[in-house]
């Protein structure tokens, strides 16, 4: 039986979304009436569409042969996307083997936040998601395709791909992961070296050595940040094959999964008898399942922004109250860095996403009655892929976790509630990641130290100005100000202060990396400073109370003084031409708040 709170939240979201969701579904069904869709093209249009194809494919595309559009986010700088270099040719061969055609419809950018952390380019990171959505739509707008395969893994890429392909929701769509790199230097050791560097106790050569031993080969980084949270959520929503997220690149099992996903989408095109469009897979219930997966595994805070934006593209309205209410009933079942010492390879070994899904289903904490790319309900996603000789089969996830220190059960979780919470008060509303915090780190009441950049805080740390109990407030970091960069470089100095015994916390209208979470931080403060948020009224010495257990984010300032106090002026674009930031000036002017998805493309569906 479904948990009563889950039922209540689900019904609330369905009711809230009724008008926009109905409009979306009506549009998708109307657009998807006729297949193959390229029959609407004129002869000149079609000739351009298959001009580069071999003659046999031209003949096939002139008739009712299924054609798969591949959207690829390949580049060979980004380790997670490096394995995609030969995927298109392999996917085309798999399609040909089944009497179909596949074409690369287009490529989208794939930005590495690890490269841009603390750099000017990070200000393009969040906005790259919407650019990817637009690029995806442009690629599919040729109207040549009967299905789509999305090749993407990392932080903004998967949300952007899904946001874009949602406007082609009448197509069968599947995501094709590439898997994580093998485990390298343990994440805890990498974090230790970073803190030693922050204290000046090791040099850059030692730091680079540690970083290179951690990020060492093609594949996704192994910590449980936004990229790997993406993969978990795609399984939770039934948008990629069961247990496929964390199979390493370049293995026979990975190749077999890639062939199977081609077979899967071809089985469900409109031309056949088993039509499964994206709009039937991505629903209110499947989106809620992704939210629950995020809470149960202690996933990235970035998805409290991305999931909202993804939902809006399909006419589904969720908010932070929904996350908070679900978090009260969803237990934390995983200890994966930064919430523990293990990495995603250990997570997969323990039982992976299928184990989590089965546990939650058995306790009524997930929606089983959803459509998936397999044309089966979510119970089909409790299986793990296995290569038996050369045959790909799916077998039930282990009855018990193979690594109980990494993956636990609903009945014996690591924490009784989920890994995220909502805090609010006279400073606005914000998200706190609690999964890596101990009980004594869940609250603070201390004087504020106000900064307008990461660098200012780092300089204060090096000068010893943060030695004490303080709440560091970093303002002017929201979407309208500078694109809402991740402030991950603040984690090592704040972690050092915490280990020295000081009570410390961060409050900001910016974001933190999905790899962050060991320091109490109220992030995504909405409304942001440049949009009239009262966070810009904070002054050095104001007493700030942040309590994740009680949901409090408050400045203890006399109400009359607070009302009369002016906000600090936020400086925008100190170097507007650096790293292409000027190109996104228009986006900053219209972008929505973090709680509305931080997007410049999510216009209301009516």
Q: Can you tell me the mean pLDDT for 449-470? A: 94
What proportion of the chain, given as a percentage, has pLDDT over 90? Answer: 81
The predicted pLDDT at position 153 comes to: 96
The predicted pLDDT at position 374 comes to: 98
The predicted pLDDT at position 573 comes to: 66
* pTM exceeds 0.85, yes or no: yes
What do you get for the CA distance between the two ends of the chain, in Å? Answer: 34
Would you place residue 189 in the very low, low, confident or very high pLDDT band (cuts 50, 70, 90)?
Answer: confident
C-alpha distances out from residue 381 to 360, 389, 390, 393, 429, Å: 12, 22, 22, 13, 35
Q: Which class for 363: exposed (0-12), middle (13-18), buried (19 or more C-beta within 10 A)?
A: middle
Q: Which class for 39: exposed (0-12), middle (13-18), buried (19 or more C-beta within 10 A)?
A: exposed
The predicted pLDDT at position 428 comes to: 97
pLDDT digits (tens, 9 = 90+) for 508-539: 999 987 667 789 999 999 999 999 999 999 99
Calculate Rg over the CA atoms of the chain.
24
504-508/521-526 β-pairing: parallel
Q: Can you tell me the mean pLDDT for 66-78? A: 96
Q: Domains of the chain, with CATH numbers?
A: 4-182+217-396 (no CATH), 187-213 (no CATH), 420-596 (3.50.30.80)
Mean of the per-residue pLDDT values of the chain: 94
Q: Which residues of 46-79 are buried (b: 16+ CB within 10 A; e: fewer)?
A: beebbeeeeeebbebbeeebbbbbbbbbbeeebb
Which is it for the CA torsion 485, 491, 493, 494, positive or negative?
positive
Q: Can you tell me the mean pLDDT for 467-488? A: 94
């Amino acid at each position: 039986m479904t948990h009563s709170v889950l039922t209540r939240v689900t019904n609330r979201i369905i009711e809230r979304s009724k008008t926009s969701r109905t409009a979306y579904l009506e549009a998708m069904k109307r657009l998807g009436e006729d297949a193959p869709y390229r029959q609407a093209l004129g002869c000149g249009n079609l000739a351009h569409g298959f001009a580069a194809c071999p003659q046999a494919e031209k003949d096939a595309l002139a008739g009712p042969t299924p054609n798969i559009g591949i959207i690829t986010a390949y580049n060979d700088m980004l380790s997670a996307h490096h394995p995609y270099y030969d995927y298109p040719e392999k996917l085309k061969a798999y399609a040909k083997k089944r009497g179909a055609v596949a074409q690369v419809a287009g490529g989208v950018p794939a930005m590495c936040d690890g490269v841009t952390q603390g750099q000017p380019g990070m200000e393009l990171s969040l906005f790259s998601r919407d650019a990817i959505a637009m690029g995806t739509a442009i690629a599919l707008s040729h109207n040549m395709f009967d299905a789509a395969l999305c090749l993407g893994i990392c932080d903004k890429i998967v949300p952007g791909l899904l946001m874009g392909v949602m406007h082609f929701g009448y197509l069968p769509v599947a995501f094709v992961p590439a898997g994580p790199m093998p485990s390298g230097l343990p994440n805890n050791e990498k974090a230790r070296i970073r803190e030693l560097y922050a204290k000046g106790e090791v040099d850059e050569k030692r730091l680079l050595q540690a970083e290179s031993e951690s990020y060492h080969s093609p594949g996704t980084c192994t910590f449980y940040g936004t990229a790997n949270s993406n993969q978990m959520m795609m399984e939770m929503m039934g948008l990629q094959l069961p247990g496929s997220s964390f199979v390493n690149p370049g293995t026979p099992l990975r190749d077999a999964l890639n062939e199977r996903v081609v077979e899967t989408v071809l089985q469900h095109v409109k031309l056949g008898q088993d039509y499964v469009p994206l709009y039937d897979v991505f629903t209110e219930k499947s989106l809620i399942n992704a939210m629950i997966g995020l809470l149960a595994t202690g996933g990235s805070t970035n998805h409290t922004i991305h999931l909202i934006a993804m939902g809006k593209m399909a006419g589904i309205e969720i908010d932070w109250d929904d996350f908070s209410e679900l978090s009260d009933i969803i237990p934390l079942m995983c200890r994966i860095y930064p919430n523990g010492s293990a990495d995603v390879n250990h997570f997969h070994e323990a039982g992976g996403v299928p184990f989590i899904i089965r546990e939650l289903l058995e306790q009524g904490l997930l929606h089983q009655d959803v459509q998936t790319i397999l044309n089966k309900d979510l119970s089909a996603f409790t299986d793990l892929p296995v290569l038996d000789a050369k045959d790909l089969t799916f077998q039930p996830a282990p009855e018990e976790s193979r690594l109980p220190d990494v993956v636990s059960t609903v009945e014996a979780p690591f924490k009784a509630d989920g890994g995220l919470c909502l805090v609010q008060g006279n400073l606005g509303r914000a998200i706190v990641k609690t999964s890596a915090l101990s009980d004594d780190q869940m609250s603070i009441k201390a004087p504020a130290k106000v900064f307008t950049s990461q660098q200012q805080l780092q300089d204060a740390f090096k000068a010893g100005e943060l030695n004490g109990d303080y709440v560091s407030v970093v303002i002017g970091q929201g979407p309208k100000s500078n694109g809402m960069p991740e402030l991950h470089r603040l984690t090592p100095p704040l972690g050092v202060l915490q280990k020295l015994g000081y009570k410390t916390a961060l409050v900001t209208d910016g974001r933190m990396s999905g790899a962050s979470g060991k320091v109490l931080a109220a992030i995504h403060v909405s409304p942001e400073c440049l949009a009239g948020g009262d966070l810009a009224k904070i002054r050095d010495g104001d007493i700030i109370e942040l309590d994740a257990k009680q949901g409090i984010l408050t400045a203890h300032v006399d109400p009359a003084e607070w009302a009369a106090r002016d906000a600090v002026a936020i400086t925008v674009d100190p170097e507007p031409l650096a790293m292409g930031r000027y190109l996104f000036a228009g986006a900053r002017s219209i972008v929505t708040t973090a709680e509305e998805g931080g997007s410049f493309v999510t216009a209301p569906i009516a």
